[in-house]
Structure 1
Amino acid sequence: MNEIIHVFKTQGNDIWQALLQHIGISLIALLIAALIAIPLAILLMRHKKTAEFILQITSILQTIPSLALLGILIPFVGIGTVPSIIALVIYAIMPIFQNTYSGLTSIDPNLEEAAAAFGLSTTKRLVRIEVPLAMPMIVSGLRIAMVMIIGTATLAALIGAGGLGTYILLGIQTNNNSLLIIGAVLSAVLALVFSGVIRILSRLSLKRLGIVVAATLVLISGAAGYRYLNRDKATITIAGKMGSEPEILINMYKELIEQDSSLKVNVKSNFGGTTFLFKALKSESIDVYPEFTGTVLESLVKTNKKVSHNPKATYRVAKSLLKKQYGMAYLKPMKYQNGYAVAVKKSFAKENHLKTISDLARVSDKIHAGFDPDFYQQTDGYPGLKKEYGLNFASVRTMEPTLRYRAIAKGKVNLVDGYTTDPELQEYDLVVLKDDKAFFPPYQGAPLLLQKTLTRYPEIQAALNKLAGKISTSDMQKMNYLVNMKHEKASKVAHDYLIKHDLIKK
C-alpha cells in the first residue's frame, strides 16, 4: 500500500493523464458503436434474415484476437488512438446490435396492433412505444459493450494510444505490482462508473438523451481539434518494443535528439513485438525504433544467405538489405550484443547434467518451456532452434517476458528464453546453456528509420550516432536491473547514463 501511495504522489499527473486517455478512447468507441448498431437494429427489426446475417458477421469479428486486429489495422491507419478506437468499435457493435434487435423484436404483438389501430405512424410507434419498451435491453447491451471496451482498451497501450494499459504493461515488464494494481483497479472502477452513468442516462427521455450525446460529441470533437491545431509540426515519434531495455534506449534517443536539434520527440514505450513496430515504421506511423541486427536478417529482410556470426559483417549486410528492400536507414550499432539465451534453473541443470543446448535433446520429454511470443515464432528463435538441435519439448507456452521468469521461479516451466542482458538471469539464479552449434546470430542494437526521415531531418544521424560503440553488456545489465528490480524510471536511468558518459550536457 505504501508503494501505491508513493506512485500516486510521484506520478499523479501521469496517472491522471492515462485515466483521461482511457476514458476518451472508451467513450468515443462506445458512442460510435451505438450510433452504428442501434440505428442498424431499428432498420432491420422487420427484416429477420438480414438481421441474422449481420449478427453472424459481428459475431465472427468478435472472434478475431485483439492483438491480431491491431496488427492488421496498423498499415492502414497507423498507430495511436485511431486503430484502437476502430478495434473497440468492432468488438462493441455485436452486443449493442444483438440486445437492441432482441428488445425491439420481443415486444408483445398485441401492443403493436393496438398502436396501429389508434392510427400511430411507424415513426411514432418507434419513438413512443417500441424504443421505450426495448430500452432495458438496449441499456443492457450498452453496459456489456462498455465493460468490454474498457477491458480491451488496456491493449491500446501496445500501439501508443496510452490509457491505463500503460501501467498494466509497465507493471508486468518491470515486475512492479504497484503499477499493475493501479492500472487494473482503475480500469475496474472506470467500468463500474460508466455502467452507473449509462443506467442514469437510460432514465432520460429520448430528446434529453439526444442532447447529452450531441454535447458529448461536441466536447470530444473540440478537444481533438484543439490538440490537432496546437500540435508541434516538427515532432518525431520514437517507439520501443516491450521491456525495460527498449524503453531505456528510446529515452536516450529522445534526449540526444532534443539536445542537438530543434525537434520535439514523442516516445512510445512497450509498443509490442517486432511485427507491430516494423509495420508502424513502414507506414510512417513512427519515425525511429531500436532494432537488432540478428532480428533484421532473420525476420525482416529477404535473404538466402546464412547469417554471419561476425558482428560487423552482420551489421553491414543488414544495413544494405534494409536500404535496398525497404528504403530504410540503419544507423551505427552500440557496443553490446543482446543475444538470445536459453536458461534453466541451476538445480535442474545439475540434476540432468545440462551444459549446452544440445544436451536438451536427451531430456526433451521433461522440458516444459515458457517462451516470449517473438522468440516462439521468429526463425531466429524457437522454430530455428528446434530444427537445428532436433528438439521436441513436452510442452511450450508463450508468455510476456517478465512472466516467463516468474513462471520458472515458481516451477510452472523449467526452461525459458531470455536475453544476455536480462537481470532476471542473475536474480532467479538461472544457468544459460551454451549455444554449442552457434545457432544464434549476433544481436547489436541500432536505430532504424526510413531514409526519407533521415533526409528530412539529417540532424538525427549525428545525434544518435553518439551511442555508436557505446553501452557495454555490463552497462545494460545494470540499467535493466535498476528499472526491473529497483523500479527506477527508465527515463531517469537513461538520463543518468548519458550524463555519466558526457553524451549530454548537465
Structure 2
Amino acid sequence: MNILKTQHQDILNSVGQHLSISLISLLIAAVIAIPLAIYLRRYKKVAEVVLQITSIFQTIPSLALLGILIPFVGIGTVPAVIALVVYAVMPIFQNTYTGFTSIDPSLEEAAYAFGLSKYRRLTRIELPLAMPLIVSGLRIAMVMIIGTATLAALIGAGGLGTYILLGIETNNNALLIIGAVLSAALALIFSALIRFIGKLSFKKIMYVFATLLVLFGGWGIYSSVSKPLSTITIAGKMGSEPEILINMYKDLIQQENPKQKVELKANFGTTNFLYKALKAGQIDVYPEFTGTVMETLVKAQNYGKNPTKIYQQGKTMLKQQDNLDYLSPMKYQNGYALVVSKDFAKKYNLKKISDLRAVQDQVKAGFDIDFFNQKDGYPGIKKQYNIDFADTNTMQPSIRYKAIASGKVNLVDGYTTDPQVQKYHLVVLQDDKHFFPPYQGAPLVRNKALKEHPDMKKALDKLSGKISTKDMQKMNYQVTFQHKKAKTVAHDYLVEHKLLDK
C-alpha cells in the first residue's frame, strides 16, 4: 500500500506508456497483416511462405531482437514497437488468411453470379464471414503484445515492465505484483474490448480503426518532433542506485545551466544495451563502474587491483576504442563483498575476510551460482585466503539475503552498497587482501555531448571523490525499503553536502 501511495502517479504513467506502446504496435501489425492476408488469399503457395517467415520471426528471442535493433533505430519506443509488431504479425496474418480461405466457395460463386464487384464481394460477403477469426487473431496478438511489452523497460521505453524487472532485481514482491497484475488486467480488458468491437458492423469497425490510427499516429509524430534538439539524455541501469545517480546528474547539470533540457531514462536494463545506445548517440551519459569497464566493455587482461590505475587505464582504452569520455569517479565502490550476520560476526569477532579462516568449519554460506563458480568469486577467495567453508549452498540472488536474515545461512556474497545490509543489520567483511577488483562509479559520456554542452563536465565533476559506501547504502535503503522517490533522495543528498542550492 505504501508503494501505491508514494508512487501512484509513476504507476499511472507506466500504465499509459504500456498501453500506448501496445496499441500502436497492434495497429501497425494489423495494417501490415490484414491487407497482406487479403491479397494473398488467392495465392496459396506465397501465403504459406509468408506464414513460415512470420513464424520464424516468433522464434527470435525478444532480448536478442532488441539488441539487434538498437544500433539501427536507437532506444525507447521505436525499437520496442518494431519488436512487438514482428511478434504480432503472425497471429493476425494466420487468422485473417484462415478466415478468408475457409469461406464456402459456393457463397463467393453466388455473389459473383449476382454481379457484385470485387470490392462489394469483399466488404459485403468475405470480410463479415472472416471477421470472427480476424478478431480472434487481434485478441491473441494483443495479449501477446501486452505480455512482451514488459521487456520494453530494458531499452528505456518504460511501461509496466519497469516494476516487474525492478521487483525481480530487488526481491521486492510488491513491485513485482503491481507490474504483473496491471499487465494481466490490461490484457483481459483489451481482449474483451476487441471482442466487443468485433461484433460491430464492418463500417463501424473501420471508423474505430481509422480513429485509433489517426490518434496514435498523430501522437507518435508529435512525440518524435517535440523533443528539443539540445536535450541531454541520461540513462541508468536497473535498480535504485543508478536511478539515484542519474537524478544527481540531472540536478547538477541544471544547476550549471537552468535552461538546459534533461531527459532521464531510469531502469534501462543491461550494460550491453546501454553501451550500444551510448555509442549510437541515443543517450549522452550513464553511470558505469570501473570493474565493468575493464571486464565487459574493453575486455582488459591482468589490469591489477589499484583503483586509480584501473580507472586511468579504462579511461584511456574507452577513448581509443569508441571515443568516449570517462569522467572522474566517485569515492564509493559497488563491488563484490562477503557479508555475515551480526550475531555471527560478534560471536567470533569477524571484521575482515581473513578472520574467517579460524571459523571456516562454522560457516554456512549461501552463494549466487555465478559467484560460486567464477574465478573472481568463491574459487578465487578459497585460493587467496586459504579457506574452505564447511557448508556451501547455491541459491538465486534474490533470496540470499532472506536466507541470512532467517538464519538458514550465516554468510552470503553481495555488493558493498546493497540496502539489505542495513535492513537486516549485516556486516560487510573487509577485503584485507584486496582480492575483489575495484568497482568505482563514474559518468561515461559521449565526446560529442561534452562538446555540445561544455557545462556538463563541470557539473558532473562535482561528484568526483564524493559519496561514501555508507552514504550510497543509506540512499539505496531509502528508495528500496522506505519507498522514497529516487529524485528526492538524490536532491536531499546534494543539498546536505552543499553540492546543490536548495
Give yes or no for TM over 0.5. Answer: yes
Partner of 2:252 in structure 1?
256
Contact 1:173/1:244, CA 8 A, preserved across alignment: no
Partner of 2:278 in structure 1?
281
**Residue 5 of structure 2 is aligned to residue 6 of structure 1:** yes
Rounded Cα–Cα distance in structure 2 between residues aligned with 1:274 and 1:477:
21
Spell out the pairing of 1:157-172 with structure 2 (5 A cutoff). 157-172=153-168
SS in 2 for 1:124: helix
Rounded Cα–Cα distance in structure 2 between residues aligned with 1:258 and 1:250:
12
Rounded Cα–Cα distance in structure 1 between residues aligned with 2:311 and 2:279:
20
Unpaired runs of 5+ residues, structure 2, are: 384-390
**Residue 16 of structure 2 is aligned to residue 16 of structure 1:** no
Shift of 1:412: 11
**Amino acid of the residue matched to residue 137 of structure 1?**
L
Rounded Cα–Cα distance in structure 2 between residues aligned with 1:123 and 1:413:
72
Shift of 1:83: 0.6
Spell out the pairing of 1:478-489 with structure 2 (5 A cutoff). 478-489=474-485
Rounded Cα–Cα distance in structure 2 between residues aligned with 1:404 and 1:68:
29
Rounded Cα–Cα distance in structure 2 between residues aligned with 1:13 and 1:286:
25
Rounded Cα–Cα distance in structure 2 between residues aligned with 1:412 and 1:44:
62
Percent identity of equivalent pairs: 64
416-425 or 234-243: bigger deviation: 416-425
Equivalent position to 1:293, from 290, 293, 306: 290
Rounded Cα–Cα distance in structure 1 between residues aligned with 2:34 and 2:377:
52
**Residue 53 of structure 2 is aligned to residue 61 of structure 1:** no
- Could you state the TM-score of these two structures normalised by the residue count of structure 1? 0.85
Partner of 1:232 in structure 2?
228
Query: Could you say if the C-alpha distance between residues 83 and 417 of structure 1 is closer, same or farther in structure 2, counting changes exceeding 3 Å?
Result: farther
CA RMSD of aligned residues (A): 3.5
110-119 or 292-301: bigger deviation: 110-119
**Amino acid of the residue matched to residue 60 of structure 2?**
I
Query: Could you say if the C-alpha distance between residues 371 and 502 of structure 1 is closer, same or farther in structure 2, counting changes exceeding 3 Å?
Result: farther
Equivalent position to 1:35, from 22, 31, 35: 31
Contact 2:365/2:412, CA 8 A, preserved across alignment: no
Equivalent position to 1:382, from 349, 358, 374: 374
Rounded Cα–Cα distance in structure 2 between residues aligned with 1:320 and 1:66:
34
Rounded Cα–Cα distance in structure 2 between residues aligned with 1:73 and 1:367:
41
Partner of 1:246 in structure 2?
242
Rounded Cα–Cα distance in structure 2 between residues aligned with 1:324 and 1:416:
38
Query: Could you say if the C-alpha distance between residues 389 and 146 of structure 1 is closer, same or farther in structure 2, counting changes exceeding 3 Å?
Result: same
Rounded Cα–Cα distance in structure 1 between residues aligned with 2:499 and 2:17:
34
Equivalent position to 1:497, from 487, 493, 496: 493
Shift of 1:134: 1.4
Shift of 1:249: 0.8
Contact 1:71/1:276, CA 8 A, preserved across alignment: yes
Equivalent position to 1:73, from 43, 47, 69: 69
Spell out the pairing of 1:272-351 with structure 2 (5 A cutoff). 272-304=269-301, 306-341=302-337
Shift of 1:58: 1.8
Partner of 2:131 in structure 1?
135
**Amino acid of the residue matched to residue 82 of structure 2?**
I
Deviation digits for residues 470-501 of structure 1 (CA, Å, limit 9, x no counterpart): 11111111111111222211111111110110
Spell out the pairing of 1:35-184 with structure 2 (5 A cutoff). 35-173=31-169, 176-184=172-180
**Residue 460 of structure 2 is aligned to residue 464 of structure 1:** yes
Query: Could you say if the C-alpha distance between residues 505 and 128 of structure 1 is closer, same or farther in structure 2, counting changes exceeding 3 Å?
Result: same
Partner of 1:476 in structure 2?
472
SS in 2 for 1:503: coil
- Could you state the TM-score of these two structures normalised by the residue count of structure 2? 0.86
290-299 or 190-199: bigger deviation: 190-199
Shift of 1:343: 5.5
Contact 1:99/1:140, CA 8 A, preserved across alignment: yes
Deviation digits for residues 310-365 of structure 1 (CA, Å, limit 9, x no counterpart): 11100110111111111011100001111123568799999xxx967999xx99xx
